[in-house]
Structure formats: structure tokens, C-alpha cells
């Protein structure tokens, strides 16, 4: 099982999603910024590193929003999604194909990675 972290970054009523590069597994699907936890890293340290590598920003990591385990055909991931905010920097596309700021109501308009299904359902429930 691969430990993966991701950030739920809000800006008012909208939150940040990122579109995976076309050449990667699950290419062009949408996800939350983040990635694999490397040996010796805490989840929080991994999230800060991944946001710096992928978007060129420094994030402030908050509490865990939720975590899920998802089995893909090629890997099984334990995904921990943290509340986070951009502490420094301006978003740049260093890894992703695109980024978008969306409202919970817009979630159905995007094709997300399957591991994010439960997360998206919870985000929609939390605003009702």
C-alpha cells in the first residue's frame, strides 16, 4: 500500500483541483494536489514538498479532512486529505495539465480520479 497525501485548499467558496498530466497513470483526470510520502517524511512534510514541487507554493497544513483506501488495478493507495492554505507563492503549472478553483456544486462537471469519489461526496455533504 502506498501512502499518499493531498491538500484541500479553499479560497472562499471555491477549492483547488488539478488535472493530471496526460502521460501519467489516470492522465487528464482531476485530483487534489499532493503525492507519495517518501521514507523518513511525515505526511505533513510530504504535502509541503509535493505542493512546492507541483505548484511552486508553500502550504500551511491543517487538520485531516478525511482518509480513504482505494485499490487501482496497478496500486493500492491510502490517501490522507488535509485542510491546507497557500502560505506563500503563486500557483504555477510545474506538474499538472491545468488547475481550477471550483465550488462543491461543480464537482460533477469534472472527471476525478476514482480514489477521490468518497472525498467529493463528503465535500458535497458538508456544504448542505
* pLDDT tens per residue across span 4-62: 999 999 999 999 999 999 988 888 999 999 999 999 999 999 999 999 999 999 999 99
Beta 76-88 vs 2-11: how paired, if at all?
Answer: parallel
Q: Which residue has the cell 461543480?
A: 106
Question: What phi, psi does 113 have (nearest 5°)?
Answer: -60, 140
Task: Report H helices in 1-128.
Answer: 43-55, 117-126
How many distinct structural domains can be found in the chain?
1
Domain span holding position 17: 2-126
Q: How many CA atoms lie within 13 A of 24 on its CB side?
A: 13
Please give the pLDDT value at position 48: 98
pLDDT at residue 27, rounded to an integer: 82
pTM: 0.94
Q: Can you give the pLDDT at residue 24? A: 85
Q: How confident is the model at residue 126 (pLDDT cuts 50, 70, 90)?
A: confident
Domain CATH for 65: 3.90.79.10
Amino acid at each position: 500500500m502506498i501512502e499518499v497525501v493531498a491538500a484541500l485548499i479553499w479560497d472562499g467558496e471555491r477549492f483547488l483541483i488539478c488535472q493530471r498530466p496526460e502521460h501519467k497513470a489516470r492522465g487528464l483526470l482531476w485530483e487534489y494536489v499532493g503525492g507519495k510520502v517518501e521514507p523518513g517524511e511525515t505526511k505533513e512534510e510530504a504535502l509541503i514538498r509535493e505542493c512546492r514541487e507541483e505548484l511552486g507554493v508553500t502550504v500551511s497544513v491543517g487538520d485531516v479532512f478525511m482518509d480513504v483506501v482505494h485499490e487501482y488495478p496497478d496500486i493500492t493507495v491510502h490517501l490522507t486529505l488535509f485542510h491546507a492554505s497557500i502560505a506563500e507563492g503563486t500557483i504555477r503549472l510545474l506538474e499538472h495539465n491545468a488547475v481550477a478553483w471550483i465550488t462543491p456544486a461543480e464537482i460533477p462537471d469534472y472527471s476525478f480520479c476514482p480514489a477521490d469519489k468518497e472525498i467529493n461526496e463528503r465535500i458535497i455533504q458538508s456544504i448542505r
